[in-house]
Amino acid sequence: MDVSGTQMVIGLVLAVVILIFLVLRTKIHAFLALIIAASIAGIVGGMPPVKVADTISSGFGSTLASIGIIIGLGVMIGRILEVSGAAETLAYSLIKFVGKKKEEWALAIAGYIVSIPIFVDSAFVILNPLVKALSKKTGKSVISLGVALAVGLVITHSLVPPTPGPLGVAGIFGVDIGLMIALGLLFGIPIMIVGVLYAKWLGKRIYQIPDDSDEGFSRPDAKMAYQEFLDLADQKSTELPSLGRSLLPILVPIILIFLNTTLSAMGLTTGFYEILIFLGKPIIAVSIGLIAAIYALAGNLSRSSTLDRMEEGIQTAGIIILVTGAGGALGAVLRESGAGDFIAGKIAEMPLPAILIPFFVSSLVRLVQGSGTVAMVTAASISAPILANMEVNMALAAQAAAMGSMIFSYFNDSLFWVVNRMLGIKNVKEQIMVWSVPTTIAWFVGLICLLIANMFM
- Rounded to 10 degrees, what is the CA torsion of 147, 151, 153, 155? 170
Q: DSSP secondary-structure letter at 212?
A: S
Alpha-carbon separation of residue 448 from 38, 303, 388, 445, 453 (angstroms) = 34, 55, 23, 5, 9
251-266: burial string, b at 16+ Cβ within 10 Å, e else: ebbbebbbbbbebbee
Residue 11: per-residue pLDDT: 83
Residue 31: per-residue pLDDT: 80
Give the C-alpha separation, 142 to 144, whole Å.
Answer: 6
Residue 416: per-residue pLDDT: 92
Q: Would you tell me how many other CB atoms lie within 10 Å of the CB of residue 349?
A: 9
Residue 66: per-residue pLDDT: 63
Residue 443: per-residue pLDDT: 97
Alpha helices in 280-388 (DSSP H): 282-297, 303-337, 339-348, 356-369, 372-387
AA letter at 95? I
Residue 316: per-residue pLDDT: 65
Give me the half-sphere count of Cα atoms (radius 13 Å) on the Cβ side of residue 312: 16
Note the pLDDT tens digit of each residue in 297-333. Answer: 777 777 887 788 777 777 767 776 777 778 778 777 8
- Beta strands 217-218 and 209-210: pairing type? antiparallel
Give the C-alpha separation, 171 to 127, whole Å.
Answer: 31
Q: What predicted TM-score, i.e. pTM, was given to this entire model?
A: 0.71
Give the C-alpha separation, 421 to 450, whole Å.
Answer: 32
Residue 340: per-residue pLDDT: 66
Note the pLDDT tens digit of each residue in 96-118. Answer: 777 667 889 988 988 888 777 66
Helix then strand then coil, % of the chain, to nearest 5: 80, 0, 20
Encode the chain (457 residues) as per-residue pLDDT tens digits.
Answer: 444 677 888 887 888 788 878 877 788 877 888 889 889 988 988 888 999 999 889 888 877 776 778 778 877 887 787 777 776 677 667 667 776 678 899 889 888 887 776 678 878 888 888 888 788 777 889 999 999 999 999 999 899 886 778 888 888 888 877 788 889 999 999 999 999 999 999 998 998 888 766 556 766 654 454 555 556 555 555 567 777 888 888 788 878 877 887 787 787 778 888 898 899 887 888 889 889 888 887 777 778 877 887 777 777 677 767 777 787 787 778 778 777 677 667 766 777 778 898 999 889 888 877 778 878 888 887 788 778 777 789 999 999 999 999 999 988 888 998 999 889 898 889 999 999 999 999 999 999 999 999 988 7
